[in-house]
Amino acid sequence: MVLIFILKIALAFYFSAITFLTIGYGDCLPVGYIKWLAPLEGWMGMFLMAYFTVAFVRKILR
């Protein structure tokens, strides 16, 4: 029972990382209401990576 829970958490983390980093292997697909949250997470991933890159470069250039 605990092993199943751990595997579900691991799969959720894998899906979240693939979506957030906009890799999209295609082996893990969202179902249900998550279909509407996955694009939002992908967009947030692109936005936050760009934001932190700009912040990092600004800090280096100062």
pLDDT exceeds cutoff 80 at 38: yes
Predicted confidence band of residue 61 (pLDDT cuts 50, 70, 90): very high
Are 18 and 25 in contact by the 8 Å Cβ rule? The answer is: yes
Longest Cα pair distance anywhere in the chain, in angstroms?
Answer: 53
Predicted confidence band of residue 9 (pLDDT cuts 50, 70, 90): very high
Q: b/e map of 6-33 (b: 16 or more CB within 10 Å)?
A: eeeeeeeeebeebbbeeeeeeeeeeeee
Predicted confidence band of residue 49 (pLDDT cuts 50, 70, 90): very high
Q: What percent of the chain has pLDDT over 90?
A: 40
On average, the pLDDT of the chain sits at 89
